[in-house]
Structure 1
């Protein structure tokens, strides 16, 4: 995905967006071409109508002005400037956006017509959009934010809080706060300009751009994530944060934001855990390859969401960041972030790897061995519902089932036994390296494991990830 041509377009568009400018794209008459609408669904069977086809997103610049109202709502006034490249000549295209109102859409500087129904923003530009040419789409939108819930009834997306918002999108929460092609396969580069009441702090992915600026009782923060990112990994969390910056021995900035209202006990635990991030990054880099992004860190919020999420380069933690969870989320930067799931059925490649990595860290620091952890999981009785989850196809309501995590990790342990330590070590590095800034499926992973090991692993993976019964020992 990262061709020279793509990088040039993306960099230019991102720089112009940061400068507050627009990208002028000449409109050409279409002769002998037959424009057609873009597709309204990216094809993931778990989420019908989510995502779109017909274009490749390049950049998003999100200009957000947010005012908390109370513990469950706020007001958002926003402009999204998106650049994409059409993959065919388009007469219209779709974006995902839920719960907010659109006031205007411009395409290449010209007003476009649009409809916005049932979370689908369908845009019809004045002129057809030619294949392979970059397009600039500006959407002005806003409204009242709330506390949306996902398919499993957990809080997600733009979750309004008393002091701001906790923004955690997995799996399909990004459209609750910006118009987007919400498909993990369509990664893009993001910049954020977030304006909040004076005294509040806004933290997003990547690195801060310049210093916060305060004017007329509001402060604006700017952030830039230079690596392509899946939309579910974005964040723009707002609160009463204290920010600290440290660096690894290699100079990688670690930017941590901890809400001033977390309890004293949770702050103590979080600070102790986050102090080990540099060591975790060094340890995982030895096993997984170089850390894939330009920054790291954490956001610890005093919210009621109740879980952590591996938002790219800066994971979000609900109330407290424990050491095991921090190891898990840092490992996700390799497994889940630089290489993301091709379809949501492939989520075990995120969660199984991150769980296994946390086992590795625990053993490295004197805790239980990986072998002991794996044995404890395998000891789960065969009659337990735990084994009925098909790890490689858990269903839309089973994405976060415990088996996806721990049986996924057990599968990796058993795979090491099957192909040997050397080939397994090579596999750990090859997966995030060969699919850097892209996605991968279970079949892709199996193919890579077979290529590295020289073995036919069909029966192995049938038993461990494609079957809803307890495998016999391998």
Structure 2
């Protein structure tokens, strides 16, 4: 990797940092002729995070190669993005936070590049890209990854572990902290990682481990996720892991990696197969290509449903495992269209914990629901949290508690038979794709044959205690 980067610098003579670039800036002063190639948008169109993601192309695959040295915290990257142009492109953007970019190639030819704003990598190929054409973009870069910033869930992005290793974790953003990416769940793509770390360290990622070998003091491992994945659901963790391997009953590979200090969760982690078996009875066939977990000794305030192999931090318990595995259906298989739709992920995954309590522990969920309502009836702050279109920065405030109550009320409103069909059919209806909360509302109405406009307005769009009609639907009226 070092030699390739040095050769690229000699060939292209292009070095770009976040502060300055030696490439010439594309001319933005002229207006394009009608039908002439144009610049892809610097954002994908999500009003909550208007600069996240990019327009003009659809990413179809990432081939990421990194070398990481925990001793000095330096990362060398060499990433190739395969994409399809959705318009005639004169230039386009990728998202990348920090690093020194040494070269960019488009379809094997040197391309001009520049840095704009906090994380835009603007690329101008030697020849415009035709709408519908498939193209590859190779970016070589290195440096120390940016430290994680404070975010809704805690620290987002690249973090150092207690043992001296590192990991990347975050939502809505994390991919751009370590590789160039179209960073929005609306643009899902396949993912392949080759990670090189000093001997004695282990790099773990999502998907299936293809290979691992140690030569000349370095261990190189390759991981492949063949199904489309949202970039925030990719990860790499480097630590002195203890790794256990197995498989589910259907042959799906299971890999669990425990960092030093994380062994306390092992008893719960050994039940991953049991949890998946239970959730398949509620949500249908397990959609991921792998299973297991990455168990860290850091306490960052949250765990994350990284695809097929969730990442758990200190504070995670058995309920966390149920929750993150439920996301493999709700959030991973079907991802949000925009971040305003986050209840599709979190409300359903949170309710999976109630389903487990009911199905495996015999809990009376109606009684649990009524007890919660009795305690929260006068809590205006609780009811003031919107579950849909809650505003940027508020995505994770109500979905874990009010969202759980709302889903139980929905179940009682439409009845168990219709509710069961919704849970199983929704992931199939939008397999490997994206959907919005309004799509879900319409889907539930169609499956149940009910007009649910008032119900959804009260529970998911409202900011007050729902009226008794919607607060105590179905069997809850007794």
Give the SS at the match of 1:65.
Answer: strand
Match of 1:44 in 2: 46
Match of 2:135 in 1: 135
Alpha-carbon displacement from aligned partner over 1:60-107 (angstroms, at most 9, x marks no partner): 01101001147xxx1110011010000111000011111222111000
| Counterpart Cα distance in 1 of 2:315 and 2:207 | 21
Shift of 1:146: 4.2
Shift of 1:252: 1.8
Structure number with greater Rg is 2
Q: Would the aligned equivalents of 2:214 and 2:220 in 1 still touch at CA under 8 Å?
A: yes
1:100–1:294 distance in 2 versus 1, CA, 3 Å = same
| Counterpart Cα distance in 1 of 2:457 and 2:153 | 31
Q: Would the aligned equivalents of 2:153 and 2:302 in 1 still touch at CA under 8 Å?
A: no
Asked if residue 319 in structure 1 is aligned to residue 318 in structure 2, the reply is no
| Counterpart Cα distance in 2 of 1:372 and 1:271 | 32
Asked if residue 383 in structure 1 is aligned to residue 379 in structure 2, the reply is yes
1:373–1:309 distance in 2 versus 1, CA, 3 Å = farther
Out of 363-372 and 273-282, give the one that drifted further. Answer: 363-372
Shift of 1:320: 5.1
Shift of 1:470: 1.4
Q: CA RMSD in A?
A: 1.7
Shift of 1:417: 1.1
Shift of 1:260: 2.4
| Counterpart Cα distance in 2 of 1:170 and 1:452 | 31
Q: Would the aligned equivalents of 1:150 and 1:173 in 2 still touch at CA under 8 Å?
A: no
1:84–1:150 distance in 2 versus 1, CA, 3 Å = farther
Out of 57-66 and 392-401, give the one that drifted further. Answer: 392-401
Q: Would the aligned equivalents of 2:168 and 2:235 in 1 still touch at CA under 8 Å?
A: yes
Shift of 1:329: 0.4
4+ residue runs of structure 1 moved beyond 4 angstroms?
Answer: none
Match of 1:396 in 2: 392
| Counterpart Cα distance in 1 of 2:366 and 2:166 | 40
Match of 1:419 in 2: 414
Give the SS at the match of 2:173.
Answer: coil
| Counterpart Cα distance in 1 of 2:222 and 2:292 | 17
Shift of 1:393: 1.9
| Counterpart Cα distance in 1 of 2:238 and 2:132 | 37
| Counterpart Cα distance in 2 of 1:253 and 1:362 | 27
Alpha-carbon displacement from aligned partner over 1:134-163 (angstroms, at most 9, x marks no partner): 100000012112421144482121212343
Shift of 1:240: 1.1
Out of 312-321 and 279-288, give the one that drifted further. Answer: 312-321
User: What are structure 1's unaligned runs of at least 5 residues?
Assistant: 1-31
Q: Would the aligned equivalents of 1:289 and 1:429 in 2 still touch at CA under 8 Å?
A: yes
Shift of 1:33: 5.2
| Counterpart Cα distance in 2 of 1:201 and 1:434 | 38
| Counterpart Cα distance in 1 of 2:350 and 2:225 | 26
| Counterpart Cα distance in 2 of 1:385 and 1:33 | 52
1:75–1:417 distance in 2 versus 1, CA, 3 Å = same
Shift of 1:362: 1.8
TM-score of the superposed pair, with normalisation by structure 2: 0.88
Alpha-carbon displacement from aligned partner over 1:102-138 (angstroms, at most 9, x marks no partner): 1110000000001112210010000011111110000
Give the SS at the match of 2:323.
Answer: helix
| Counterpart Cα distance in 1 of 2:246 and 2:371 | 37
| Counterpart Cα distance in 2 of 1:124 and 1:312 | 32
Match of 2:9 in 1: none
Q: Would the aligned equivalents of 1:300 and 1:320 in 2 still touch at CA under 8 Å?
A: no
Match of 1:260 in 2: 260
1:181–1:274 distance in 2 versus 1, CA, 3 Å = same
Number of paired residues?
A: 434
Q: Would the aligned equivalents of 1:150 and 1:172 in 2 still touch at CA under 8 Å?
A: no
Give the SS at the match of 2:393.
Answer: helix
Shift of 1:204: 0.6
Match of 1:79 in 2: 78
Match of 1:4 in 2: none
Aligned mate of 2:461, from 444, 456, 466: 466
| Counterpart Cα distance in 2 of 1:370 and 1:206 | 35
Give the SS at the match of 2:246.
Answer: strand
| Counterpart Cα distance in 1 of 2:367 and 2:432 | 33
Match of 2:64 in 1: 62
Asked if residue 100 in structure 1 is aligned to residue 99 in structure 2, the reply is yes
Asked if residue 291 in structure 1 is aligned to residue 286 in structure 2, the reply is yes
Asked if residue 117 in structure 1 is aligned to residue 116 in structure 2, the reply is yes
User: What are structure 2's unaligned runs of at least 5 residues?
Assistant: 1-33, 471-478
| Counterpart Cα distance in 1 of 2:153 and 2:269 | 29
Shift of 1:334: 0.3
Match of 1:452 in 2: 447
Give the SS at the match of 1:64.
Answer: strand
Out of 133-142 and 320-329, give the one that drifted further. Answer: 320-329
Alpha-carbon displacement from aligned partner over 1:8-33 (angstroms, at most 9, x marks no partner): xxxxxxxxxxxxxxxxxxxxxxxx95
Match of 1:5 in 2: none
1:67–1:171 distance in 2 versus 1, CA, 3 Å = same
Give the SS at the match of 1:405.
Answer: coil
Match of 2:186 in 1: 185
Give the SS at the match of 2:421.
Answer: helix
